[in-house]
């Protein structure tokens, strides 16, 4: 029973273009969502988060959009850079304030080509 799903295992984009990573969830109790980036041989690194009371959060080149009615969120990276090439995980929490107890998606491998 996958409560958080990232249906695209991989994504390839050209440097300078937009990368859009998608995530769907099934549990309506989720109230906080996060995106993590992971390089090989490293732990996940926090990128950006969004509370369920918002529909958009922006931080530099990264923007996360939340559509609660569709139970869908997306991460936009503009412009994409080769250093963004990594595995991206969407994660959700059902305990507001407890960001250590997360349900993760399977991950999407992003490749940004120079």
Partner 1 sequence: ETGVTQSPTHLIKTRGQQVTLRCSSQSGHNTVSWYQQALGQGPQFIFQYYREEENGRGNFPPRFSGLQFPNYSSELNVNALELDDSALYLCASSLAGGNTEAFFGQGTRLTVV
Residues that bind partner 1 (CB under 8 A): 4, 6, 32, 34, 36, 41-46, 49, 51, 89, 91, 96-107
Which C-beta is closer to partner 1: that of 77 or that of 107?
A: 107
Q: How far is the CB of 24 from partner 1 (least distance, A)?
A: 13
Provide the pairing of β-strand 19-25 with 72-77: antiparallel
Per-residue b or e along 49-82, where b marks 16 or more CB atoms closer than 10 Å to that residue's CB: bbebeeeeeeeeebbbbbeeeebebbbbbeebee
Which C-beta is closer to partner 1: that of 100 or that of 114?
A: 100
Give CA–CA dist 2/67, Å, rounded: 19
Structure tokens given for 11:
């994504």
Which three-class secondary structure state does DSSP give residue 82?
helix
Q: How far is the CB of 92 from partner 1 (least distance, A)?
A: 11
Which C-beta is closer to partner 1: that of 81 or that of 98?
A: 98
Which C-beta is closer to partner 1: that of 4 or that of 13?
A: 4
Q: How far is the CB of 19 from partner 1 (least distance, A)?
A: 19
The DSSP call for residue 107 is -
């Amino acid at each position: 029973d996958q409560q958080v799903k990232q249906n695209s295992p991989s994504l390839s984009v050209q440097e300078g273009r937009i990368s859009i990573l998608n995530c769907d969830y099934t549990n309506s109790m989720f109230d906080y969502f996060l995106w993590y980036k992971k390089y090989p041989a490293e732990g996940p690194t926090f990128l950006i988060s969004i509370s369920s009371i918002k529909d958009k959060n922006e931080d530099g080149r990264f923007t996360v959009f939340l559509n609660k009615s569709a139970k869908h969120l997306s991460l936009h990276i503009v412009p994409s850079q080769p250093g963004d090439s990594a595995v991206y995980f969407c994660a959700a929490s059902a305990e507001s304030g407890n960001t250590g107890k997360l349900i993760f998606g399977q991950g999407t491998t992003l490749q940004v080509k120079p």
